[in-house]
Chains A and B, each alone.
Chain A
Amino acid sequence: MKRKKTVITSRGAAAHAPRPRAPQPPRTPVVPSSILRLPGEKLRSAELADERAAARNARNAPAAAPAPATPLPPLAAVDLSVDLAPRRDGALVLRTPVMAAAGTFGYGVEYAELVDVERIGAICSKGTTLKGRTGNAPPRVTETASGMLNSIGLQNPGVEAVLERYAQTWAAWEVPVIVNVAGESVDDYVAVVRRLDGEPGIAGIELNISCPNVGKGGIQFALDADAAAQVTRAVRAATQLPLLVKLSPAAQDVRRIAQAVADAGADAIGATNTLPGMSIDRERRRPFLGNTYGGLSGPALKPVALRVVYEVAQVVEIPVVGIGGVASLDDVLDYLMAGASAVQVGSAVFADPLLPVRLADELEAWCRDQGMTSHRELVGAALPGRRDRPSMKGAEYRP
């Protein structure tokens, strides 16, 4: 990879949301403004401006216009929207940066009875392959300390059946649905993406090159920069749809792979998929999962995925999506500050199906309390001024 060394002053996030760097907004403590403000104290500027505007409107409005019965308090508008494919001109703009992660949210319809799915930023479908797959032998899930293992093995009915069953529903939804695509070979990926291209209801592609639970294909693409670049380039040539590439935390030097994927034309990078692990059935004295190994997800994975986001955000200009152990507002803020433009909620949805919607609401309230007009101000706030050292010695990376 011959790449010009760039000075990383306004990295990653800057590509799609120019971040004014010079006048830093005053850092206020994480306390609601209502608590900070004394009874007689003046409103902060944003709220004040809103009030003035309201007063001006009231003066200019014709006298006949009735005043609202219960006037709502003026709220500073918080813009939570995020563009995950800035080079594609609004092709994948999410209303909130909290998405539903692939595999945990099915095809969206399963949760529709419980959750207002249209309030989620975006939904990633289950891994979809060219032909149907029956998946791995049960048992397939088990809980571990602060996490869980899964070895579903990409069970899905195949791209044709997925389109037939769900595309119409997705097209009617306002929430973008991103189809997670997996395959055994580059040709497989390309064939699935070709089939999805141009179908109504498909807002984007999430290239799953990091599934640890399948024999051929899967994670092997995400462990090698050349293979990752090859499959990304091939898929890029096959579609104009926004393209997310989901990386593995098991890669030796994830920065090299992220760089290769970005150069090959990915619109955004998802970090990360699950980490291979296992569990023992002590009673029967053998591995618990039918497939022996499974992918670790949940809060246990978060520090690892956060590190990957931090490393990736330093080397690529495209948006990064933080995935792994998002279960509370703190996790969302951590990922944003580490350089992610959006996050995906995965296994935490099993405990609380309403979590993606709630996190977006909490993020909005938090931003408002901080006097911020958008969460985008946070993106990359914790990144270093210049490129940080690699997380693992020996995994040296020279661009």
Chain B
Amino acid sequence: MRLLTARLLDSREILPGQWLMRWEAPWLASTALPGQFVHVRMPEWAGMLLRRPYRLNTFDRIAGELTLHVRVAGRGSAWLTQLRPGESVEMLGPLGRGFEVDPRSRHLLLIAGGAGISGVRALADTAVAEGRQVTILFGAARASEVYPASLLPDEVEYLVATQDGSLGHHGDVTELVGTYEAWADQAFAAGPPGLLAALARIAAGRDARLGVARLGRKRGANPDPLGSPGARRKSWLQVALQQTMGCAVGACLGCVVTGVQGPQRVCREGPVFAAAEIDWEAAG
């Protein structure tokens, strides 16, 4: 975690109101892990007091660059997306705990809703580089909001569902999960809270549907405690959450979500959680 300056290299609107911004930030790019985020400082003169958290969309360790996928949702993102190449912002990062991928997992299922793809996009890169097979299920309202396949690595399988049926599967992206739940060793999701809650319900019933037996645990051995890296690796579904945030270093307790074991800080215990850690009733 460091405070540093990132310089904007280029910025383009890839979808209506969604921008892909490429930054020069060598230290961040070389230390970041998929699932982590940066806290971007806003201009003081505009009266914007809080930094804004953005997930690392992709990072290139060799070039020392990273990209952020910014959806214009308020004053902060509106200001950020209006920056010109050459301008700089102050970033704090990399922050939070990233995705836990089991070294033995061969098939990864990434599920994203809308701009939530920024939450799992970096994982597609690293998983492909490690020789894993990746399928991305993407859900959006209509074809015009579908993430362009040209921005994904060639090796991934990309399936799209739209609510109005204008592209791909007509309906919810959760309806595509059933085809892949047996194939996937692990699943990773990011998107609106409703989508994540629905996926968590699917994940909770998966073992029973597939008849998965929990083998290989020695009697008497302690299972990994909830929230530990081990427990997250063993959980089928991990979700990347978002919450309005204050400090992003774990001091203010502003960004919590309701977990089954009490409040969990998105900035410190998250932003990635095993689906079983979250109290979805309270979160929804």
Contact B49 A352 (CB under 8 A): no
Contact B249 A351 (CB under 8 A): no
A290 CB to closest chain B CB (Å) equals: 9
Within 8 A of B (CB), among A180-204: none
Complex Cα distance, B268 from A110, in Å, reads: 10
A135 beta carbon closer than 8 Å to chain B: yes
Write the A86-129 contact mask toward B (1 if CB under 8 angstroms, else 0).
00000000000000000111110011011000000000001000
B47 beta carbon closer than 8 Å to chain A: yes
Between A103, A110, A111, A145, the greatest number of chain B beta carbons within 10 A of the residue's beta carbon is seen for A110
- List chain A residues, Cβ under 8 A from B262: 134
A397 beta carbon closer than 8 Å to chain B: no
Between B3, B243, B252, B282, the greatest number of chain A beta carbons within 10 A of the residue's beta carbon is seen for B252
Q: How many B residues are at the interface, by size bracket?
A: 20 to 34
- List chain A residues, Cβ under 8 A from B248: 350
A149 CB to closest chain B CB (Å) equals: 10
Within 8 A of A (CB), among B225-284: 243-258, 262-263, 282
Complex Cα distance, B258 from A137, in Å, reads: 7
Contact A155 B253 (CB under 8 A): yes
- List chain B residues, Cβ under 8 A from A137: 258, 282
Given A148-B50, A299-B49: A138 and B252 within 8 A (CB)?
no
- Contacting residue for A141 out of B3, B48, B254, B282, CB 8 A: B254
Complex Cα distance, B252 from A327, in Å, reads: 17
Nearest A-chain residue to B245, judged by Cβ: A141
- List chain B residues, Cβ under 8 A from A134: 262-263
B44 beta carbon closer than 8 Å to chain A: yes
A139 beta carbon closer than 8 Å to chain B: yes
- List chain B residues, Cβ under 8 A from A148: 49-50, 246
Tell me if B's interface is mostly helix, strand, loop or mixed: loop
Given A148-B49, A351-B50: A126 and B246 within 8 A (CB)?
no
Complex Cα distance, B250 from A226, in Å, reads: 37
Contact A111 B49 (CB under 8 A): no
- Contacting residue for A140 out of B41, B49, B254, CB 8 A: B254
Complex Cα distance, B263 from A102, in Å, reads: 20
Between B50, B245, B246, B248, the greatest number of chain A beta carbons within 10 A of the residue's beta carbon is seen for B246
B108 beta carbon closer than 8 Å to chain A: no
A327 CB to closest chain B CB (Å) equals: 7
A353 beta carbon closer than 8 Å to chain B: yes
B280 CB to closest chain A CB (Å) equals: 13
Nearest A-chain residue to B48, judged by Cβ: A143
Nearest A-chain residue to B247, judged by Cβ: A350
Write the B41-82 contact mask toward A (1 if CB under 8 angstroms, else 0).
110100111110000000000000000000000001000000
**A contact residues vs B (CB 8 Å cutoff):** 103-107, 110-111, 113-114, 126, 134-135, 137-143, 145-148, 150, 152, 155, 298-299, 327, 347-354
